[in-house]
Every structure is written in C-alpha cells, then in structure tokens.
Amino acid sequence: MMERSDPALATRVARETMLALLAGRAPGATVCPSEVARTLGAESDGTASSGWRDMMPVVHAAVDQMMAEGLIRLSWKGKSLKKRAGPYRIGRGKRE
C-alpha cells in the first residue's frame, strides 16, 4: 500500500495512476475515483486492501490539480461537471 507521508509524492503517484488507468480504457471511457484509490491502496502483492478509503483525499487533491490543468474532465451520469462535488467519474481531458 502506498504511504501518504509525503503529500507531494502521494499526489504525483495518484496523478500517474489516474492517467495509466485512463490510458487502458477506450476513448471516452471513465474511471471511478475509488478505483484509483483502490489501485493506490493495494497491497504489494496486488491484493485489495481496506486502506483504499484513506487514499481518497490524495485522489481528490490530484483530481483538483488535473482539472485545473485540463488533463481530465469530470462527469456524472453523462453530464459534465465543472468541479468536483458529490459523486463523479474521471475522463480524459483535452490536454491529455
């Protein structure tokens, strides 16, 4: 499981993980922020960990940065979101 002791490193890894998950999807597909957190929170052997919830603030911070940079877009039930609020999905942005 990834450590959160260095916030800048944790956010950078969350950003990289988000982009990697999106790269593995079809164009226009999205990922759930909890999927990013579960990937970050996985044990070193790849098994799921209950610590993924602890990674959500890191994922949210990365999402906010990436939205500001135009690297990702957010949506919920097919509708575009201008900012992170409530449930959302993450998709490729125009700059990605």
* CA distances in angstroms from 74 to 6, 33, 91, 92, listed in the order given: 26, 10, 6, 9
SS in 3 state form for 59-75? Answer: HHHHHHHHHHHCCEEEE
pLDDT category, 20, cuts 50, 70, 90?
A: very high
- In CATH, the number for domain 7-92 is 1.10.10.10
pLDDT digits (tens, 9 = 90+) for 51-81: 888 999 999 999 999 999 999 999 999 999 9
Question: Are the C-beta atoms of 19 and 34 separated by less than 8 Å?
Answer: no
Q: What is the pLDDT of residue 41?
A: 85
pTM of the model: 0.86
3-class secondary-structure state, position 12: helix
Measure the CA–CA gap between 44 and 93, rounded to whole angstroms. Answer: 30
- Could you state, in order of their start, the residue ranges of all structural domains in the chain? 7-92
